[in-house]
Amino acid sequence: MSLRSKYARQLRHTFGSGYHAAWFPDTPHEIGAYGYLEDDVFVARGNIRDLKIQFEIDIDNIPSALELNSNQGVSFAVKAKGETNPDLPHIPKASAGLGIGFKSDGSFVMAAEEVYEDRIKNPGALEAQLIQLYNDGIWKSGYRIVTAILRMPIATILISQSKDTKIELSLEGTLTPAVKELGKANVAVSINWESSAVMKYAPARNAMPIIHLSRLKKRLLAFGPRLRTFSMERADSIGAEVAWTLVPDEMVPTE
């Protein structure tokens, strides 16, 4: 299994149903792009606007912070500025330090101070147009569509390229050695040491490392196809493919 496939599967299992890793993590994606999953990674073949499909995009203007760590074995060691830590021998005493251990290849750490989720505003209208194209023999049921993207003006993304990898980072511009600090624009991240190869985006600018995919899925008997969130089998549940609906923020439970 390739590195990108292992990374994509770990991100999907960690983040949740319907959300997928973009590869490479700094590759731009457009809402409305359609294509296939190849080696667990979305590969665009065009945009549905090219097929005369009309849709609107809900642009997110309220940022959220993101700290996302692979759920398959990531460990941390920290050192405050002016202190020492025997687990971080390569970090200068005058710097805040963070050590990250990756148990498996494809394990990752991702942090961003500002994250914006742009998404298709009118999924019902999109579904109707896709059904028409499907009935006309133009749309293929295997196509996936990018229905939302997570934009990150500044982000740090670290992906282990081998098993049992360790990396030591020094952080300038903060007194707090923590993963969330990696995603801040005013924090400079330096790589002091790594035991093996780590794919590093530090910082990644205007990154879109996570995308949301949907597809037009056929149903049984007399029922027509429906627009669905696409998710491959997850580690904690089988058949995680569910109907995709947009829920107003005020209706989302807080707990």
Instruction: Indicate if the pLDDT at residue 217 is higher than 60.
Output: yes
Q: Per the domain annotation, does 205 fall within a domain?
A: yes
Q: What is the pLDDT of residue 71?
A: 77
**Could you list the residue range(s) of the whole structural domain that residue 200 is in?**
3-245
Q: What is the pLDDT of residue 220?
A: 58
Q: Per the domain annotation, does 253 fall within a domain?
A: no
Q: What is the pLDDT of residue 15?
A: 78
pLDDT digits (tens, 9 = 90+) for 126-145: 999 999 999 999 999 889 99
Output the CA torsion sign for 134, 135, 138, 142.
Answer: positive
Least confident of 17-26, 35-44, 201-210, 227-236: 227-236
Choose among 98, 89, 104, 74: nearest CA to 164.
104
Instruction: Compute the average pLDDT of residues 210-228.
Output: 75
Pairing of strands 41-47, 33-38: antiparallel
Residue predicted with more confidence, 249 or 123: 123
Tally of structural domains, the chain: 1
pTM of the model: 0.84
Q: Per the domain annotation, does 60 fall within a domain?
A: yes
Residue predicted with more confidence, 157 or 14: 157
Q: Per the domain annotation, does 66 fall within a domain?
A: yes
pLDDT digits (tens, 9 = 90+) for 225-235: 777 754 333 33
HSE of 132 in the Cβ direction (CA atoms, 13 Å)?
11
Pairing of strands 198-217, 96-102: unpaired
Choose among 112, 209, 78, 106: nearest CA to 165.
106
Q: What is the pLDDT of residue 241?
A: 33
Instruction: Indicate if the pLDDT at residue 17 is higher than 90.
Output: no
Q: Per the domain annotation, does 144 fall within a domain?
A: yes
Instruction: Compute the average pLDDT of residues 38-44.
Output: 91
165 token code pair: 């990898």
Residue predicted with more confidence, 51 or 71: 51
Check if the beta carbon of residue 205 is closer than 8 Å to that of residue 154: yes
Instruction: Compute the average pLDDT of residues 15-26.
Output: 86
- Using DSSP, state whether 184 is helix, strand or coil: coil
Burial class (CB in 10 A: 0-12, 13-18, 19+), 90: middle
How far apart (Å, rounded) are the C-alpha atoms in residues 195 and 168? Answer: 9
Instruction: Indicate if the pLDDT at residue 193 is higher than 90.
Output: yes
How far apart (Å, rounded) are the C-alpha atoms in residues 228 and 230? Answer: 6
Q: Per the domain annotation, does 14 fall within a domain?
A: yes
DSSP type of residue 105:
T
Choose among 148, 142, 118: nearest CA to 130.
142
Percent of the chain whose pLDDT exceeds 70: 86
Q: Residue 179 — pLDDT band, cuts 50, 70, 90? A: very high
Q: Per the domain annotation, does 254 fall within a domain?
A: no
Q: Residue 97 — pLDDT band, cuts 50, 70, 90? A: very high
Q: Per the domain annotation, does 251 fall within a domain?
A: no
